[in-house]
Amino acid sequence: MRTLIDVRNVSKTFGGVVANHDISLKVPEGEITGLIGPNGSGKTTLFNCIVGNHPIDSGSIVFQDREITTFTVQKIARLGLLRTFQQTHIYGNMNCIQNMLISVPHRTEGYSDMFRPYRREAYERVDELLEFVGLYSKRKLQAGDLSFGQQKLLEFAMALMNGPKVLLLDEPTAGINPTLINGLIDRLKRANQELGITLFVIEHNMRVIMNLAEHIYCLAHGELLAQGSPNEIQNDQRVIDAYLGAH
């Protein structure tokens, strides 16, 4: 399997805090890879490093055999590497359709297009993806009036609008009602299998990540502690101790 994202010896500190120390990992194309670890272990920081949100102190990040270590967020997004946030980033006073449309940097083609900036295909794609995440009936509602779980689904659909090759999802099920989690897992799997999107997923819900990911990396104190199949990770004493020690 081809490696899509290759994180090589990445370190990142904030003042005296070592958030990531010498982390190396690979995200294979077409798969769902998991990232777990106790609170503060450096998971979100690693996502921020990969997508170009912070400059890293040392190491390198390669995407599709191309070094992207110093690229801007926008340039990395244009290559097809996108992330969602632990806290949702939606515009509460716009409806779902408008949020979906503005999530894509759009191009107008001269004067004749000025009053019709979005193409019919864009609206069709919005409808398809809102249907895909189960929000079609809410499409004209202000995003701020959606429930928190629905806002996360909207953010997921907004990321899909960009046709990413790979999506980094930061705790997609956090705050979602347990009865709705299975539906979300199903959508993530379908995005992977039907839309061919590689997923790299941070998750605290062990049941979810064990069910979703083919390979899991575990961080602790900013370092890579363990990696393996869900079964190997579940039975890894170092992982069990890291979680118990964190509480």
Ligand X SMILES: Nc1ncnc2c1ncn2[C@@H]1O[C@H](COP(=O)(O)OP(=O)(O)OP(=O)(O)O)[C@@H](O)[C@H]1O
Q: If DSSP codes are grouped into helix, strand and coil, which group holds residue 178?
A: helix
The DSSP code for 147 is -
Single-letter residue type at 115 = F
Q: Which of 7, 21, 45, 187 binds ligand X (CB under 6 A)?
A: 45
Which CB, 101 or 176, lies closer to ligand X?
Answer: 176
From 155, 147, 92, select the one nearest 129 (Cα to Cα).
Answer: 155
For residues 43 and 187, which CB has a smaller minimum distance to ligand X in the complex? 43
Give yes or no for residue 42 binding ligand X (CB under 6 A).
yes
Q: How far is the CB of 243 from ligand X (least distance, A)?
A: 11
Of 25-33, 38-46, 68-76, 99-107, which part binds ligand X (CB under 6 A)? 38-46
b/e code 63-91 from CB counts within 10 Å (16+ = b): bbeeebbebeeeebbeebbbbbbeebebe
Instruction: Please report, to the nearest 10 degrees, the dihedral formed by the alpha carbons of residues 232, 234, 239, 244 taken in order.
Output: -160
Stretch that binds Mg ion, among 44-52, 102-110, 139-147, 149-157 (CB under 5 A): 44-52
Positions 78 through 137 that interact with ligand X (CB under 6 A): 86
* 74 makes contact with ligand X (CB under 6 A): no
Task: Find the DSSP H helices in the chain.
Answer: 43-50, 73-78, 96-102, 120-132, 148-161, 178-193, 206-212, 230-234, 237-245
CB of 219 to ligand X, least distance (A): 6
Residue 195 interacting partner from Mg ion, ligand X, none (CB closer than 5 to 8 Å by kind): none
Query: Counting contacts by CB under 5 A, is residue 151 touching Mg ion?
Result: no
Cβ-based nearer residue to ligand X, 45 or 192: 45
Of the candidate residues 33, 41, 44, 173, the single one contacting Mg ion (CB under 5 A): 44
Are the CB atoms for 119 and 177 separated by under 8 Å?
Answer: no
Judged by beta carbon, residue 44 or residue 151, the one nearer Mg ion is 44
Q: Nearer to ligand X by C-beta: 48 or 192? A: 48
95 sits near Mg ion (criterion: CB under 5 A): no
Which residues, 6 or more positions from 97, have their beta carbon under 8 angstroms from its beta carbon? Answer: 123, 126, 130, 139, 140
Nearer to ligand X, 39 or 74 (CB): 39
* Size of residue set near ligand X by CB under 6 A: 12
CA-CA distances (angstroms) from residue 174 to 49, 129, 155, 182, 202?
22, 21, 13, 13, 10
Q: How far is the CB of 171 from ligand X (least distance, A)?
A: 7
Site residues, Mg ion (CB under 5 A): 44
Question: Which residues contact ligand X (rule: CB under 6 A)?
Answer: 14, 17, 19, 37, 39-45, 86
